[in-house]
Amino acid sequence: MNEHNEHLLEALERLLMMKNECSCSIFSECGLSDMTVRQIAYLKAISGQGDVTFSRLAEITNNSKPTITEMVNRFVRMNCVYREPCRDDGRILYIRLTDKGKMVAGAEQAALRRVVERMVDSLDDHELETLIRILGKVR
């Protein structure tokens, strides 16, 4: 690996570490520093679905209904989701995110925003414009 590649690798590793620190900070703010990547993915799936039922979430995540029930029960205890009966059919339960669940589901985006804020604080306007132009070229 040549010198440019090494420097680029180091710079990207620093950026990823910064993003991970921001993500961990957000999870700590929620009191959920031990969230797993899979749990976060499930919360993101719930967030992206709107009216999601246990059956639909099982289908989306390729899990069994008992697995989904167990996971939802865990999320209820963590205060990340709640069950809401359907107005038209009380047998149907929707899985809804609490404010805490929404914050966790959006943590990746929030972490990236924090990284951007740190970049804006560290770079002058010309450097920011150059960085934006360079990153825009990456495919």
The dihedral through the CA atoms of 9, 15, 19, 21 has a sign that is: positive
Q: Would you say the pTM of this structure is higher than 0.85?
A: no
Give Cα separations from 70 to 65, 73, 93, 117 (angstroms): 9, 5, 15, 38
Residue type at 33 in one-letter notation: S
82, pLDDT greater than 90:
yes
Distance CA(124)–CA(103), nearest Å, equals 30
Question: What is the pLDDT confidence band of residue 56, given thresholds at 50, 70 and 90?
Answer: very high
Q: What 3-state class would DSSP assign to 79? A: coil
Categorize the per-residue pLDDT at 1 as very low, low, confident or very high, splitting at 50, 70 and 90.
low
